[in-house]
DNA sequence: ACGAGGCTAAACAGGG
DNA sequence: GCCCTGTTTAGCCTCG
């Protein structure tokens, strides 16, 4: 998506060689290239088009300057694709290319925002539409350029130079018309970008690539046009002195203008612009050395501190480091911000997991469709309701439809709460008595399959009863029978949680095998193996729908965790007026929800949740889900499914990340076979 | 308050 | 005697 330097910036050998030559040379080169490119310009260009001559010349000059700049800057030039030397767009194509979201921006989004699938989709569609427009525009531009070239040739052959003045005006007019068209396009883009920003989907840094329009204005538009642009964008111009690459993506801002004075580089601060304010960017970025540029720091990019809510402009890496140490030292505020960021990341991961799960459910549905016609659409992720039932439900997920009596939502256990994993749930890893009762027919197999990696890596207790797990282990075996030891192995292999406290859970496993009639011990040649009596399993207990007690505990735990967090957060926000959410959640529903969830929590909403499990709302954020969904007792709306596992993923990577996790709560691992 | 289901802990027995 | 396997009992928790 990102055009790191437009193709036009590609180093063009011939052009470079002619770098300092006259416009005619450039034109010749251009023609040569055009031909080589298979674009045989028609020599029958109309006389009227001769008016474009000057424009073309200006373009050539711009191109020349661009090339020169490339040579000077060097750094970027190497990255360019040299395979399209024939491309004749003097003005950086980049400026005409869609303002697609760059990887950096995307990263920001990923780091700071939570996008709903819908948002992402819209975003993508918008980007695609823009790209299309740009492409068309670009083609138009190229055509125009070719025509100009042809005209120039004709002119040269005719040895004319007379109507110059007359053409001048004409050209200017046409230029303006064309530029305006481009402007419009660019404005559209900018509008789009701003919209994104407003939505909190995109957060551009001041030092980030300037908008294409700017480049355009600089590259070939006379000062008046720049002025126009300024008016339109309300941005300030900054004299960059020598054209320099502001950022890797900035090639588009070629400081070309032969006519334009000191190539003013319009750097727009998108955020400021959004607020109707302009910001003057430090023109020092150019001074950034390649080495510095290469110095990468997750919190530093495009000359801006990426610390959530900061965005302070740091001229160079060292100043950034100073800034980091001074402004973001280890204190309450930073800690709070860090925690918030954690939540944000968790939500993103949750989102990702949800979508993954959705995909899996879809695939799963298509594959088992025939066997599960009436079954509810695959596992929805109910964060909460997940209970595994040893009862009917889990019984052969593949062949047994969910029992009629149970809620239709199968769900994937979300484990102890979504985010849970990283934060609270980890706490619950211990001997908390929360087994998802069998109320919901949770397809344990699918859940385990979907969250396999998670369970394997995160020490999170699976939300299933021992009986369910044992049954699953047995059913997964080729012969539907396992020895006790094999069952143990399955537990440890599949769940990180069971890699500790072996004495306890093994005892529980044995206890369950003996206790439940559904487990049948069969003497074998090699010893005894355990099998499952599905019939017995099914009759174990009538399905009932109820809340899960253990989940309540999770809530409490979550509350315990979040309370301090919220307190810290709020205190921090209060004292420092830190726009913790401004950057990340600006207009972002998810984060807003998160924040409100936190507030709710502070307001004791938790109590409500604990006592009333029916407050589920579709738009709930993961955070909220984490706190409230657990108690949900009714089948969740498919759209409301919170990605359980998602957290999963999160958990996977974050066990060590959870600052509040108290590993000491857990008995030290004893063992493992 | 009670019963049911689930979990943990532990005692106990038999076999290798 | 130790360990593993298997059974059983007890106590606790939470929900309905």
Across A59-73, average pLDDT? 43
Residue A375's pLDDT is what?
Answer: 30
Residue A507's pLDDT is what?
Answer: 92
- Collapsed DSSP state (helix, strand, coil) of residue A297: strand
CA distances from A602 to A343, A359, A562, A563 (A): 16, 35, 9, 7
Q: What value does the CA radius of gyration of chain A take, rounded to a whole number of Å?
A: 32
A495 sits within 7 Å of strand B by its CB: no
Could you tell me the pLDDT band of residue A80, with boundaries at 50, 70 and 90? very low
State the nucleotide closest to A549 in CA–C1' terms: C14
Across A172-193, average pLDDT? 49
State the nucleotide closest to A556 in CA–C1' terms: C14
Q: How many CB atoms lie within 10 A of CB A672?
A: 10
Output the distance from A550 CA to C9 C1' rounded to whole Å: 24
Could you tell me the pLDDT band of residue A364, with boundaries at 50, 70 and 90? low
Residue A137's pLDDT is what?
Answer: 53
A390 sits within 7 Å of strand B by its CB: yes
Q: What is the spatial distance between Cα A328 and Cα A324, in angstroms, rounded to a whole number?
A: 5
Does position A44 have pLDDT exceeding 80, yes or no?
Answer: no
Across A481-500, average pLDDT? 91
Residue A484's pLDDT is what?
Answer: 93
Across A134-147, average pLDDT? 58
Which residue from A189, A86, A94, A100 is spatially nearest to A145, judged by alpha carbons?
A86
Output the distance from A614 CA to C16 C1' rounded to whole Å: 16
Buried b (16+ CB within 10 A) or exposed e, A483-517: ebebbbebbbebbbbbbbbbeebbebbeebbeebe
Which residue from A491, A562, A567, A484 is spatially nearest to A522, judged by alpha carbons?
A484
Does position A81 have pLDDT exceeding 50, yes or no?
Answer: no
Q: How many CB atoms lie within 10 A of CB A55?
A: 23
Q: Which residue has better confidence, A340 or A325?
A: A325
Does position A191 have pLDDT exceeding 60, yes or no?
Answer: no
Residue A17's pLDDT is what?
Answer: 34
A540 sits within 7 Å of strand B by its CB: yes
Q: Are A440 and A385 in contact (CB under 8 A)?
A: yes
Output the distance from A461 CA to B7 C1' rounded to whole Å: 13
Output the distance from A409 CA to B6 C1' rounded to whole Å: 22
Residue-wise pLDDT for A372-414, tens only, equals 332 332 333 333 333 333 333 333 333 332 332 222 222 333 3
The dihedral sign for the CA sequence A473, A476, A480, A486? negative
One-character DSSP codes across A386-426: ----TTGGGS-TTTSPPPTTS-S---EE--S-TGGGTTHHH
Residue A569's pLDDT is what?
Answer: 33
Across A107-127, average pLDDT? 46
- Those nucleotides of strand B lying less than 7 Å from any protein Cβ are 4-11
- Those nucleotides of strand C lying less than 7 Å from any protein Cβ are 4-10, 12-16
Does position A254 have pLDDT exceeding 80, yes or no?
Answer: no
Residue A150's pLDDT is what?
Answer: 56
Across A80-97, average pLDDT? 33
Could you tell me the pLDDT band of residue A653, with boundaries at 50, 70 and 90? very low
Q: Are A130 and A85 in contact (CB under 8 A)?
A: no
Residue A197's pLDDT is what?
Answer: 45
- Collapsed DSSP state (helix, strand, coil) of residue A268: coil
Q: What is the spatial distance between Cα A640 and Cα A620, in angstroms, rounded to a whole number?
A: 8
Nearest residue to nucleotide B15 when comparing alpha carbons to its C1'?
A: A527
Residue A295's pLDDT is what?
Answer: 57
Which residue from A481, A490, A489 is spatially nearest to A526, judged by alpha carbons?
A481
Residue-wise pLDDT for A404-463, tens only, equals 222 222 233 333 333 333 333 333 333 333 444 333 444 778 788 888 888 888 888 888
- Collapsed DSSP state (helix, strand, coil) of residue A286: helix
Q: What is the spatial distance between Cα A249 and Cα A106, in angstroms, rounded to a whole number?
A: 14
Output the distance from A17 CA to C1 C1' rounded to whole Å: 91
Residue-wise pLDDT for A578-630, tens only, equals 333 323 333 333 333 333 333 333 333 333 333 333 333 333 333 333 333 33
Q: How many CB atoms lie within 10 A of CB A587?
A: 16
Long-range own/partner contacts, residues A182-186 (CB < 8 A, 24 or more apart): A182/A96, A182/A137, A182/A141, A182/A213, A182/A216, A183/A213, A183/A216, A183/A217, A183/A228, A183/A229, A183/A232, A185/A96, A185/A133, A185/A134, A185/A137, A185/A213, A186/A95, A186/A211, A186/A212, A186/A213, A186/A216
Token representation of residue A375: 């079954």
Q: What is the spatial distance between Cα A518 and Cα A468, in angstroms, rounded to a whole number?
A: 11
A472 sits within 7 Å of strand B by its CB: no
Output the distance from A473 CA to B13 C1' rounded to whole Å: 27
State the nucleotide closest to A514 in CA–C1' terms: C7
Residue A314's pLDDT is what?
Answer: 77
Q: Are A442 and A389 in contact (CB under 8 A)?
A: yes
Residue A512's pLDDT is what?
Answer: 93
Residue A501's pLDDT is what?
Answer: 87
Q: What is the spatial distance between Cα A594 and Cα A585, in angstroms, rounded to a whole number?
A: 9
Nearest residue to nucleotide B9 when comparing alpha carbons to its C1'?
A: A504
- Collapsed DSSP state (helix, strand, coil) of residue A237: strand
Residue A490's pLDDT is what?
Answer: 92
Residue-wise pLDDT for A517-531, tens only, equals 899 998 877 788 999
Residue A354's pLDDT is what?
Answer: 72
A389 sits within 7 Å of strand B by its CB: yes
Q: Which residue has better confidence, A664 or A192?
A: A192
pTM (2 decimals)? 0.32
Output the distance from A11 CA to B10 C1' rounded to whole Å: 79
Nearest residue to nucleotide B4 when comparing alpha carbons to its C1'?
A: A541
Q: Mean of the per-residue pLDDT values for chain A? A: 49
Does position A267 have pLDDT exceeding 80, yes or no?
Answer: no
Output the distance from A498 CA to B14 C1' rounded to whole Å: 27
A467 sits within 7 Å of strand B by its CB: yes
Element (H or E) spanning A330, and its range? Answer: none
Percentage of chain A modeled with pLDDT above 70? 21
A616 burial (CB, 10 Å; 0-12 / 13-18 / 19+) is buried
Output the distance from A230 CA to B2 C1' rounded to whole Å: 78
Angle between helix A332-368 and helix A103-112 axes, rounded to 10 deg: 100
One-character DSSP codes across A615-637: ---TT--HHHHHHHGGG--SPPP
Nearest residue to nucleotide B5 when comparing alpha carbons to its C1'?
A: A437
Winning range, highest mean pLDDT, from A191-195, A370-374, A531-535: A531-535
- The percent helix, strand, coil of chain A (3-state, each to 5) is 55, 5, 40
């Amino acid at each position: 998506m990102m055009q790191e330097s437009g193709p036009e910036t590609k180093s063009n050998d011939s052009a470079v060689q002619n770098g300092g030559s006259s416009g005619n040379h450039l034109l010749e080169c251009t023609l040569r290239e055009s031909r080589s490119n298979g674009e045989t310009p028609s020599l029958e260009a109309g006389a009227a088009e001769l008016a474009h001559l000057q424009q073309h010349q200006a373009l050539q000059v711009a191109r020349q300057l661009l090339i020169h700049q490339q040579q000077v800057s060097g750094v970027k030039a190497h990255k360019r694709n040299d395979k399209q030397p024939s491309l004749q767009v003097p003005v950086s194509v980049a400026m005409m290319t869609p303002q697609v979201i760059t990887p950096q921006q995307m990263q920001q989004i990923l780091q700071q925002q939570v996008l709903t699938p819908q948002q992402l989709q819209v975003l993508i569609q918008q980007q695609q539409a823009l790209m299309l427009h740009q492409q068309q525009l670009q083609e138009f531009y190229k055509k125009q350029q070719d025509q100009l070239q042809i005209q120039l040739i004709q002119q040269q052959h005719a040895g004319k130079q007379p109507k110059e003045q007359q053409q001048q005006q004409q050209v200017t007019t046409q230029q303006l018309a064309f530029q305006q068209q481009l402007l419009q396009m660019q404005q559209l883009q900018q509008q789009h970008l701003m919209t994104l920003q407003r939505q909190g989907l995109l957060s551009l840094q001041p030092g980030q690539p300037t908008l294409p329009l700017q480049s355009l204005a600089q590259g070939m538009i006379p000062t008046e046009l720049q002025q126009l642009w300024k008016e339109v964008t309300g941005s300030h111009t900054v004299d960059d002195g020598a054209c320099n690459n502001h950022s890797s993506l900035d090639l588009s801002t070629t400081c070309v203008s032969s006519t334009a004075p000191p190539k003013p580089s319009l750097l727009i601060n998108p955020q400021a612009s959004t607020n109707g304010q302009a910001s003057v960017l430090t023109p020092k970025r150019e001074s950034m050395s390649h080495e510095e540029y290469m110095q990468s720091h997750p919190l530093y990019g495009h000359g801006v501190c990426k610390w959530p809510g900061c965005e302070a402009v740091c001229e160079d890496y060292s100043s950034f480091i100073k800034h980091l140490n001074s402004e973001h030292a280890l204190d309450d505020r930073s800690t709070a911000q860090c925690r918030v960021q954690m939540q944000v990341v968790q939500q993103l991961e949750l989102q990702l997991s949800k979508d993954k799960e959705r995909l899996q459910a879809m695939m799963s549905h298509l594959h088992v469709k025939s066997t599960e016609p009436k079954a509810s659409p695959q596992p929805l992720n109910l964060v909460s309701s997940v209970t595994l039932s040893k009862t009917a439900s889990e019984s052969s997920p593949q062949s047994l439809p969910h029992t009629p009596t149970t809620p239709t939502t199968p769900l994937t256990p979300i484990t102890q709460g979504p985010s849970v994993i990283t934060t609270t749930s980890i706490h619950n890893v211990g001997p908390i008595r929360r087994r998802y009762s069998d109320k919901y027919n949770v397809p344990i197999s699918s859940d385990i399959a979907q969250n396999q990696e998670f369970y394997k890596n995160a020490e999170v207790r699976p939300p299933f009863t021992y009986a369910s797990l044992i049954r699953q282990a047995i059913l997964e075996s080729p012969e539907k029978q396992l020895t006790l030891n094999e069952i143990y192995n399955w537990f440890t292999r599949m769940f990180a949680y069971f890699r500790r406290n072996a004495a306890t859970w093994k005892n529980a496993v044995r206890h369950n095998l003996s206790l439940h009639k559904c487990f049948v011990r069969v003497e074998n040649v090699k010893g005894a193996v355990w099998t499952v009596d599905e019939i017995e399993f099914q009759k174990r207990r009538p399905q009932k729908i109820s809340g899960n007690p253990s989940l309540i505990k999770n809530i409490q735990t979550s509350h315990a965790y979040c309370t301090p967090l919220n307190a810290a957060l709020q205190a921090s926000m209060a004292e420092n007026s830190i726009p913790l959410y401004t950057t990340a959640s600006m207009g972002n529903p998810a984060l807003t929800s998160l924040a409100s969830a936190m507030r709710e929590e502070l307001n004791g909403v938790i109590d409500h949740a604990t006592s009333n499990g029916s407050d589920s709302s579709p738009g709930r954020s993961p955070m909220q889900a984490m706190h409230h969904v657990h108690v949900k007792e009714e089948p969740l709306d498919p759209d409301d499914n919170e990605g359980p596992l998602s957290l999963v993923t999160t958990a996977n990577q974050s066990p060590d990340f959870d600052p509040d996790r108290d590993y000491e709560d857990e008995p030290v691992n004893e063992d493992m076979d």
